């Protein structure tokens, strides 16, 4: 295994001209992963740069445009000059995602293009067995020290076909929704839609974007390494090319209307500089999608921390008890609940500045710490970009007030913040996320974001980053019966899409049947108790703020409460077992030497599994099975009897199987 870092071997510095081709337009270069499974080919067609990707025998993504237009340089028409190749080791550890140790080798191909003025543009491709990451690198060759990127031609193209379908969530209009805070990555997904379908708002789709290319395989498109030096991007609506029979999705930058029109859509970069990485994950089945680590493979930590951040579990009163619970007495009850559950954190949500006040927050933190619980405090991101009144407002948006506030929190012993309602992907907003993260780390504070963009490699880039909402999260189950009716389908999407590339602060696991205070009124949960605990394994965030309420200590099954006390929130390894997005899912996650398998089902057809077949390599271990829907029970099965053990998962139900450490 060539997995040591900096195993740099220059393999070729030449154009691999196709001597048998009739046309000069067929001059191409290519780079394959070390096993030769995935190949990226790059060429030009009448000055138009393109790349294509093949994976295995059958999965082929057709030629897709490359190119940049900046306010200083025009790289929309270029000549291909060559490709330099080297082998690189991808070798690192993480402490807060779906995998703790990543080690594999990849091939890096750096393509040189030159425009008619002789100005060079580089495109770097990092090709692993199932992942391609690529970015543009802009040199500084003259006086020009900075550019604005006015347009990016990058496309992701797919072949047409009745069985080629998408799983996408639209970008919303800007400045709509609650207090004009959108877009915030909280839209519905289209499930197995034809590529010809247009997006709900006409603004294309937010990352990550999943495609099924018929029987040939699955493709996930996303991006990573976005920090304050660029904007977040998205995919356009599809455009059909009748000559080529392909659907094109183009990279789009933020809409001008985002953030109340403040800040530019077009990112500025200092030269020399790079764009973020765009990523394509390819697999014959969904395993490479569920298991991918590409979001972290190609990024590096942006600063070192002096702090030892601990992940774990928390309670938050707001999700079930809502705004009325943000008072001193109710927060003490949720601190007591966290302590009774052996959790580590309590999240005090919006309005604490008015309804508790800063002086009594000091008392509350002291009370929490006397119970062994640490505190997260909520803030609005605002700001001059929305109408949010929920306090505290206008603290995080100003560096002077932000730093003063964070020093105050540090003195009190507050351990983290949840910052809400960002509403945009402009570079200006990415700078805001980064400024909050950087200042927070100076004060030993972890950061959760809600009403926000997708994290793009942030678990590795920012040592104090915890997780982001960026999904139609648990609050919608409280707000709407429709969402409860659709809960199972939505939950069967996230392990294949949203949660594959970044931590997902879903805030779920309800034990109430009625999603309101005291379990009497409100929306009705359609999924079972075991379904709920299965989502604690299926949904990954390094701190899980569960939707428990104090009454659950009396009315929820002890089997479930005990499971929540022990379930890990960070994982050493993740494996796909079975499933189809929006229908059903079964996956396995390892913590130490213990494997947790969780399965849920949204379809009418009950899913049946032979337990021994789900993780064949684990035979010889005793297992504990959580099953029984709303009357949950534990079934212990000894290793020697595992061969005959089966589980069944009806609609809206789930199962959790724990393969105990040997």
| Minimum CB–partner distance for residue 469 and Ca ion (Å) | 5
CA–CA–CA angle 47, 51, 56 (5° rounding): 155
Q: What does the per-residue mask of binding to Ca ion show for 433-452, with x meaning CB under 5 A?
A: ------------------x-
| Minimum CB–partner distance for residue 184 and Ca ion (Å) | 6
Measured from the CB atom, the residue of 303 and 479 that comes closer to Ca ion is 479
Structure tokens at 253: 């930058």
Mark 75-103 as b/e (b = at least 16 C-beta within 10 Å): bbebebeebbbbbbbbbbebebbbbbebe
Outline where 443-557 has alpha helix (H): 458-461, 475-479, 481-485, 487-491, 529-538, 552-555
Measured from the CB atom, the residue of 350 and 528 that comes closer to Ca ion is 350
Pairwise CA distance, residues 158 & 277, whole Å = 20
Measured from the CB atom, the residue of 282 and 477 that comes closer to Ca ion is 477
| Minimum CB–partner distance for residue 421 and Ca ion (Å) | 8
| Minimum CB–partner distance for residue 196 and Ca ion (Å) | 31
Measured from the CB atom, the residue of 451 and 508 that comes closer to Ca ion is 451
| Minimum CB–partner distance for residue 548 and Ca ion (Å) | 19
Q: Where is 121: in which H helix or E strand?
A: strand 120-127
| Minimum CB–partner distance for residue 477 and Ca ion (Å) | 12
| Minimum CB–partner distance for residue 392 and Ca ion (Å) | 17
Q: How far, in whole angstroms, is CA 474 from its chain's centroid?
A: 16
Cβ proximity of 353 and 392 under 8 Å: yes
| Minimum CB–partner distance for residue 193 and Ca ion (Å) | 24
Measured from the CB atom, the residue of 451 and 455 that comes closer to Ca ion is 451
Pairwise CA distance, residues 566 & 658, whole Å = 11
Q: Please enumerate in sequence order all residues whose Cβ is within 8 A of that of 334, keeping only pairs 6 or more positions apart, or say none.
A: 315, 316, 317, 325, 346, 550
Q: How many residues bind Ca ion (CB under 5 A)?
A: 1
Pairwise CA distance, residues 336 & 315, whole Å = 10
DSSP string covering 314-343? EEETHHHH-GGG-SHHHHHHHHHHHHHTT-
Measured from the CB atom, the residue of 317 and 591 that comes closer to Ca ion is 317
Q: How far, in whole angstroms, is CA 529 from its chain's centroid?
A: 26
What one-character DSSP code corresponds to residue 630?
A: T
Measured from the CB atom, the residue of 182 and 250 that comes closer to Ca ion is 182
Measured from the CB atom, the residue of 450 and 575 that comes closer to Ca ion is 450
Three-state secondary-structure class, residue 359: helix
Measured from the CB atom, the residue of 184 and 216 that comes closer to Ca ion is 184
What one-character DSSP code corresponds to residue 187?
A: P
Pairwise CA distance, residues 623 & 65, whole Å = 51
| Minimum CB–partner distance for residue 186 and Ca ion (Å) | 6
Measured from the CB atom, the residue of 238 and 350 that comes closer to Ca ion is 350
Phi, psi of 531 (to 5 degrees): -55, -45
Pairwise CA distance, residues 572 & 594, whole Å = 10
Measured from the CB atom, the residue of 349 and 459 that comes closer to Ca ion is 349
CA-to-CA dists, residue 497 to 159, 210, 283, 348, 486, angstroms: 21, 7, 14, 29, 17
| Minimum CB–partner distance for residue 451 and Ca ion (Å) | 5
Structure tokens at 436: 């909050």
| Minimum CB–partner distance for residue 647 and Ca ion (Å) | 34
Q: What does the per-residue mask of binding to Ca ion show for 450-489, with x meaning CB under 5 A?
A: -x--------------------------------------
Q: Please enumerate in sequence order all residues whose Cβ is within 8 A of that of 462, keeping only pairs 6 or more positions apart, or say none.
A: 301, 302, 303, 434, 437, 438, 441, 447
The four Cα atoms 142, 144, 145, 147 give a dihedral, to 10 degrees, of: -130
Cβ proximity of 11 and 86 under 8 Å: yes
Measured from the CB atom, the residue of 290 and 477 that comes closer to Ca ion is 477
| Minimum CB–partner distance for residue 381 and Ca ion (Å) | 12
| Minimum CB–partner distance for residue 310 and Ca ion (Å) | 25
Measured from the CB atom, the residue of 180 and 371 that comes closer to Ca ion is 180
Sign of the CA dihedral with 93 first, then 94, 100, and 103 last: negative
Measured from the CB atom, the residue of 279 and 453 that comes closer to Ca ion is 453
Considering only residues 49 through 88, tell me which ones interact with Ca ion, judged by CB under 5 A: none
Measured from the CB atom, the residue of 237 and 475 that comes closer to Ca ion is 475
Pairwise CA distance, residues 208 & 211, whole Å = 10
| Minimum CB–partner distance for residue 385 and Ca ion (Å) | 16
Structure tokens at 493: 């999407």
DSSP string covering 235-289? EPPPEEETTTTEEEEEEEPPPTTGGGG-S-SS-EEESSEEPPEEEEEEESSSHHH
Q: Please enumerate in sequence order all residues whose Cβ is within 8 A of that of 473, keeping only pairs 6 or more positions apart, or say none.
A: 186, 450, 505, 506, 507, 508
| Minimum CB–partner distance for residue 187 and Ca ion (Å) | 12
Pairing of the two strands 594-601 and 584-591:
antiparallel
Instruction: Please give the residue ranges that form the binding site for Ca ion (CB under 5 A).
Output: 451
């Amino acid at each position: 295994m060539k997995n040591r870092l900096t195993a740099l071997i220059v393999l070729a510095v030449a154009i691999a001209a196709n001597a048998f081709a009739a046309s000069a337009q067929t001059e191409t270069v290519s780079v394959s992963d070390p096993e030769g499974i995935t190949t990226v080919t790059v060429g030009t067609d009448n000055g138009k740069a393109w790349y294509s990707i093949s994976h295995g025998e059958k999965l082929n993504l057709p030629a897709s445009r490359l190119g940049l237009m900046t306010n200083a340089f025009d790289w929309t028409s270029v000549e291909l000059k060559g490709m330099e190749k080297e082998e690189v080791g991808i070798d690192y550890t993480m402490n807060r995602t779906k995998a703790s140790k990543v080690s594999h080798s990849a091939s890096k191909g750096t393509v040189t293009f030159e425009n008619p003025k002789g100005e060079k543009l580089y495109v770097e491709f990092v090709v692993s067995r199932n992942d391609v990451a690529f970015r543009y690198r802009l040199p500084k060759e003259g006086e020009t020290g900075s550019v604005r990127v006015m347009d990016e031609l990058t496309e992701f193209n797919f072949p047409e076909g009745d069985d080629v379908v998408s799983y996408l969530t639209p970008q919303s209009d800007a400045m709509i929704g609650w207090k004009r805070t959108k877009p915030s990555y909280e839209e519905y997904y289209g499930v197995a839609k034809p590529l010809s379908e247009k997006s709900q708002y006409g603004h294309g789709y937010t990352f990550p974007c999943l495609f099924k290319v018929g029987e040939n395989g699955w493709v996930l498109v996303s991006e990573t390494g976005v920090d304050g030096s660029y904007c977040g991007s998205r995919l356009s609506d599809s455009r059909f090319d009748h000559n080529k029979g392909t659907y094109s999705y183009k990279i789009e930058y933020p809409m001008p209307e985002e953030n109340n029109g403040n800040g530019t859509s077009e990112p500025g970069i200092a030269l020399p500089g790079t764009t973020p990485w765009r990523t394509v994950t390819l697999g014959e089945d969904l395993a490479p999608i569920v298991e991918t680590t590409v979001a972290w493979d190609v990024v590096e930590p942006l600063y070192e921390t002096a702090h030892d951040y601990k992940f774990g579990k928390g309670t938050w009163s707001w999700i079930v008890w809502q705004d009325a619970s943000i008072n001193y007495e109710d927060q003490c009850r949720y601190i007591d609940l966290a302590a009774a559950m052996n959790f580590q954190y309590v999240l005090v949500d919006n309005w604490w500045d008015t309804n508790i006040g800063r002086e009594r927050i000091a008392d509350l933190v002291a009370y929490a710490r006397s119970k062994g619980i640490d505190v997260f405090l909520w803030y609005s991101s605002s700001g001059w970009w929305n109408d949010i009144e929920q306090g505290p407002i206008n603290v995080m948006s100003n560096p002077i007030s932000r730093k003063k506030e964070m020093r105050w929190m540090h003195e009190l012993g507050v351990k983290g913040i949840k910052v809400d309602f960002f509403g945009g992907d402009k570079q200006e907003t990415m700078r805001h996320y980064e400024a909050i993260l950087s200042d927070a780390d100076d004060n030993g504070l972890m950061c959760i974001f809600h009403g926000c963009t997708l994290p793009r490699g942030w678990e590795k880039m920012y040592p104090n980053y915890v997780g982001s909402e960026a999904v139609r999260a648990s609050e919608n189950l409280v707000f709407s019966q429709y969402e409860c009716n659709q809960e199972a389908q939505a939950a069967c999407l996230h392990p294949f899409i949203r949660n594959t590339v970044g931590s997902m602060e879903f805030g779920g696991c309800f034990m109430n049947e009625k999603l309101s205070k005291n379990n009497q009124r409100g929306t009705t949960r359609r999924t079972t108790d075991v379904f709920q605990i299965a989502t604690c394994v299926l949904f990954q965030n390094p701190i899980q703020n569960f939707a428990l309420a104090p009454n659950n200590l009396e009315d929820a099954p002890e089997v479930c409460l005990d499971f929540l006390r022990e379930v890990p929130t960070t994982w050493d390894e993740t494996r796909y077992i079975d499933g189809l997005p929006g229908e059903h899912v079964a996956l396995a996650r390892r913590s130490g030497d213990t494997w947790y398998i969780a399965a849920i089902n949204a379809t009418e057809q009950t899913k049946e599994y032979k337990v021994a077949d789900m993780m064949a390599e684990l035979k010889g271990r005793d297992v504990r099975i959580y099953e029984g829907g709303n009357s949950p029970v534990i079934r212990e099965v000894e290793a020697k009897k595992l061969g005959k053990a089966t589980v069944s998962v009806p609609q809206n139900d789930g199962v959790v199987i724990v393969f105990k450490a040997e």
